[in-house]
Amino acid sequence: MKTTLSIIKADVGGFPGHATVHPDLIKNAEEELHAAKKSGEIKDYFVARCGDDLDLIMTHDKGVDDKKIHELAWNTFISCTEIAKKLKLYGAGQDLLSDTFSGNVKGLGPGSAEMQFEERKSEPILCFLMDKTEPGAFNLPIYKMFGDPFNSAGLVIDSNMHHGFTFEIYDIVENKKVLLNTPEETYDLLALIGGKSRYVIKRIYPREGSPVPKSEAVACISTDKLSKIAGTYVGKDDPVAMVRCQSGLPAVGEALEPWAFPHLVSGWMRGSHNGPLMPCSMEDATPSRFDGPPRVVALGFQIANGTLGRPFDFFKDKAYDRTRNKAIKIADYMRAHGPFEPHRLPSEDMEYTTLPAVMKKLENRFKEI
């Protein structure tokens, strides 16, 4: 029997502002998923949060894009929104762009990442949850895990990893996708994914010779763009991802190594600024300064016969203290630019923010030069 891992997430109200998820929302989501586990609809669950984003991590046997699972997540977000409205939480129901569920959360606002696979003898999986950033924030770390021999020693010294991987890239502007193989197409791959606001890694597949079947994704990233769906600024598309590890795939430590570098991502303050991505524990995933800096949480699970068990919260570790300090220094440096680029996003990316309304006022004031 194959196992499916689904993370479906949404911001249905921040407490206070865009900082965290209110405990009453967590409690409600846990109760809903507990009932679904009891009735056999899902096998296991863990309700997580990163900043103001509520992340429903679920295992089941229904495959990806299952209507029942998506409906369960949707209904959970709806009931959490009702509580958020009563508490007058900020942006209650922010990410729910429709009044009605139409079979899949895709296109309705929430983000999702899902994988179906045959459980191996041991199935270590990392779930990454982000806040105050966008799907392209995963490009650099996922590339490092699966494509960079200076990050993942297994690409060099493990014969089960030596064949490389297939990267599935989405062009989220044109709604197209392309498959590229590493190592031989590394330069083409980097030419695309370096442009992280347009080209995003959606999935990674193993290649011929890997102990994991070629048809099974070994990593999946949520790529849902709220602004593209709504056509206007609603909130940022804070993404999630899942990465299977070990035995022909990056070791857990290789999947954690890229995060020691707090790379610059977009999505800080009003979804309009670049800033460093700071790895932290779920407890510390509480954006504050300038609504940030952007955060990433890493929860590790050992999936066993469809059960998730409790997660191990990796970025709690002291090994990431220096990264956090560096991120804070970079935050000082970026903040010193105030409203200037490259702290503020380039004009193309500001199209979906609140800036165009301000620019409109000046429209008639311009004269030919």
Binding site for Mg ion (CB under 5 A): 11, 14, 18, 51-53, 91, 131, 235, 238
Is 279 a residue that touches ligand 13P (CB under 6 A)? no
- Among this protein's residues, is 171 annotated catalytic? no
C-beta closer to Mg ion: residue 53 or 313: 53
Contact segment (CB under 6 A) with ligand 13P among 73-81, 208-216, 235-243, 308-316 equals: 235-243
Strand spans (E) along 12-152: 44-50, 53-60, 111-117, 123-131
Is 349 a residue that touches ligand 13P (CB under 6 A)? no
251 contact, one of ligand 13P, Mg ion, none, CB 5-8 Å limit per kind: ligand 13P
- Pick out residues in 80-99 that bind ligand 13P (CB under 6 A): none
Contact segment (CB under 6 A) with ligand 13P among 166-174, 179-187, 203-211, 230-238 equals: 230-238
Which one-letter DSSP state was computed for residue 304?
Answer: B
Strand spans (E) along 141-250: 165-171, 176-181, 199-206, 219-221, 240-244
Number of helical H runs and strand E runs in the chain: 11, 15
- Among this protein's residues, is 9 annotated catalytic? no
DSSP letters spanning 293-321 = S-EEEEEEEEEBTTB--PPEEGGGSGGGH
Q: How far is CA 272 from CA 91, 130, 340, in A?
A: 17, 16, 11
- Compute the Cα dihedral for 160, 166, 46, 26 and give only its sign: positive
Count the neighbouring beta carbons within 10 Å of the beta carbon of residue 188.
15
Is 297 a residue that touches ligand 13P (CB under 6 A)? no
Distance CA 225, CA 216 (A): 25
C-beta closer to ligand 13P: residue 180 or 240: 240
Q: Is 207 exposed, middle or buried (0-12, 13-18, 19+ CB in 10 A)?
A: middle
Residue type, 320: Y
C-beta closer to Mg ion: residue 44 or 53: 53
- Among this protein's residues, is 121 annotated catalytic? no
Member of 238, 257, 313, 349 binding ligand 13P (CB under 6 A): 238
Two tokens, residue 163 = 């064949």
Member of 144, 203, 236, 295 binding ligand 13P (CB under 6 A): 236
295-303 vs 278-279, strand pairing mode = parallel
Q: Which residue is nearest to Mg ion (CB)?
A: 18
- Shortest CB 235 distance to ligand 13P, Å: 3
DSSP 3-state assignment of 156? helix
Distance CA 334, CA 276 (A): 9
- Shortest CB 352 distance to Mg ion, Å: 15
C-beta closer to ligand 13P: residue 246 or 266: 246
22 contact, one of ligand 13P, Mg ion, none, CB 5-8 Å limit per kind: none
Residue 359 contacts by C-beta under 8 Å, 6 or more apart in sequence? none
Is 131 a residue that touches ligand 13P (CB under 6 A)? yes
239 contact, one of ligand 13P, Mg ion, none, CB 5-8 Å limit per kind: none
Is 51 a residue that touches ligand 13P (CB under 6 A)? yes
Query: Which one is catalytic: 143, 170, 205, 233?
Result: 233
Two tokens, residue 200 = 């995003």
Residue type, 319: A
Two tokens, residue 295 = 């955060």
- Shortest CB 182 distance to ligand 13P, Å: 19
- Pick out residues in 52-71 that bind ligand 13P (CB under 6 A): 52
Member of 9, 18, 60, 144 binding ligand 13P (CB under 6 A): 18
Q: Is 23 exposed, middle or buried (0-12, 13-18, 19+ CB in 10 A)?
A: exposed
Query: Which one is catalytic: 43, 62, 225, 236?
Result: 236
Interface with ligand 13P by CB under 6 A: which residues? 11, 14, 18, 51-52, 131-132, 158, 235-236, 238, 246-247, 251, 253, 269-271, 291
Q: Which residues are catalytic?
A: 11, 233, 236
